[in-house]
Amino acid sequence: MKKLLSLIILLICFSLAFSQTISFESEIKEAQTLFENSEFLSSANILESVVQKDPKNTYALNELGVVYLKIGKYDDAENCANKVINLDRTIKKSYYVRGIAYYYLGKYKESVKDLSCFLQFYPQKTDALNSRGGAYLALEKYNLAEKDFSSAINYSLMMNSQSPAVYYSNRAYTFIKMKKFPEAIKDLDICIKLNPNDLDSLVKRSYSYNQLGKYKEALADAKKTLQLTPNSEEAHRNYGEVLLSSGDYENAITEFSIVLNMATDDALSYYLRGCAYAKLNDFQNAMNDFNKSLELEPNNENCIQAKTLILNEIETFSKKG
């Protein structure tokens, strides 16, 4: 009789546990559906409830971590992934979640380590490649960054899906850092074809053309950025840089002055305006701007060198006089 009673109790406990598992499975599926419909907060609420009831539910923890990534709760996403890894280190998705969270938290070395672990098993996961590329880029490992961004693009094409413009944009920025400006322009052409009003890509392409001495093309992109965002500091500064490079010093000064009216602490614009003044032999205003730039950024080597050149010029003129 006692054995029968024990068996009945055991069956009841198993039945309760099984029904709870089914219930959680249903809740997790509901949360996934909400996530797919961009109802991220509702999805998070359901998953948080599941995790509160079952703190060791690694599946729910991973799904919750993904939702937290989507809504920008990177610390919480990291915590979810840590819990999963502590429970079961073989679940690779947790390294993906934590690697992405680390990237957005600025923990680039840790991000590379986790995403590399994940990509060993899922090498075609394009957003993981893109994030690891971003981490490499932040660590100034440009060759590795280029390789990851290229892989993300190529895998997208292999799967017959259009690569997100951000992959091309990130690779273009990497090319700029590597001073591979023709390659950068090719990628930025694709970005701008996908979105003709992409301000970031227009600025980068204008900069790349400027570096190649293609001032007509650089000015065209710079003017378009101003048309799109007439009150943008970046647009005016970019236009001023192209004017400075092309020898239009007076108009360059005007553009940098507009920037400095909007942002009086912009060390770069003081330096660039100082360069324009120097080109016009207006050494007094040049020195004023270089000094202001160095007050804001004391270790700006370019500005220090420019100031030294001006001082040498003034000394030469004084000796001649």
Q: What residue type is assigned to position 154 of the chain?
A: N
Domain ranges of the chain: 23-121, 247-321
**Contact predicate 89/118, CB 8 Å:** no
Q: What pLDDT, on the 0 to 100 scale, is given for residue 21?
A: 43
Mean pLDDT of 19-34: 76
Which pLDDT score is estimated for 306? 86
CA distance 70 to 34: 13
Provide the CA 133 distance to its chain's centre, in angstroms.
10
Q: How far apart are CA 35 and CA 63, in angstroms?
A: 10
**Given a cut of 70, is residue 9 above it in pLDDT?**
no
Instruction: Indicate if the pLDDT at residue 158 is higher than 70.
Output: yes
**Residue 313 C-beta-side C-alpha neighbours within 13 Å:** 15
Q: What is the pLDDT of residue 17?
A: 40
Which of 21-35, 102-116, 151-165 has the highest average model confidence (pLDDT)?
102-116
Q: What is the Cα–Cα distance from 291 to 115, expressed in whole angstroms? A: 45
Condensed to tens digits (0 to 9), the pLDDT of residues 76-117 reads 999 999 999 999 999 999 999 999 999 999 999 999 999 999
Tens digits of residue pLDDT in 232-249? 999 999 999 999 999 999
Write down the pLDDT at residue 15: 43
Residue 24 pLDDT level (bands cut at 50, 70, 90): confident
State the average pLDDT for the chain.
90
Fold identical between 23-121 and 247-321?
A: yes
- HEC sequence for 100-162: HHHHHCCCHHHHHHHHHHHHCCCCCCHHHHHHHHHHHHHCCCHHHHHHHHHHHHHHHHHCCCC
CB neighbours of 74 closer than 8 A, spacing ≥ 6?
68, 101, 104, 105
Q: Classify domain 23-121 at the CATH class level.
A: mainly alpha
Lowest mean pLDDT among 24-28, 69-73, 96-100, 201-205: 24-28
Instruction: State residue 59's pLDDT score.
Output: 93
State the architecture of 247-321 in CATH terms: Alpha Horseshoe (1.25)
Helix axes 74-87, 58-70, angle to 10 degrees: 160
Percent of the chain scoring above 70 in pLDDT: 89
Of 18-27, 82-91, 153-162, the poorest mean pLDDT is in: 18-27
Which range, of 7-21, 45-59, 134-148, 259-273, averages the lowest pLDDT?
A: 7-21
pLDDT of res. 13: 46
Q: What is the structure's pLDDT at 23?
A: 53
pLDDT digits (tens, 9 = 90+) for 168-213: 999 999 999 999 999 999 999 999 999 999 999 999 999 999 999 9
pTM: 0.83
Nearest alpha carbon to residue 66 among 89, 46, 40? 40
Does position 31 have pLDDT exceeding 70, yes or no?
A: yes
Residue 187: exposed, middle, or buried by beta-carbon count in 10 A (0-12, 13-18, 19+)?
buried
pLDDT digits (tens, 9 = 90+) for 283-296: 999 999 999 999 99
Q: What is the pLDDT of residue 316?
A: 66
187 vs 87: CA distance, rounded Å: 43
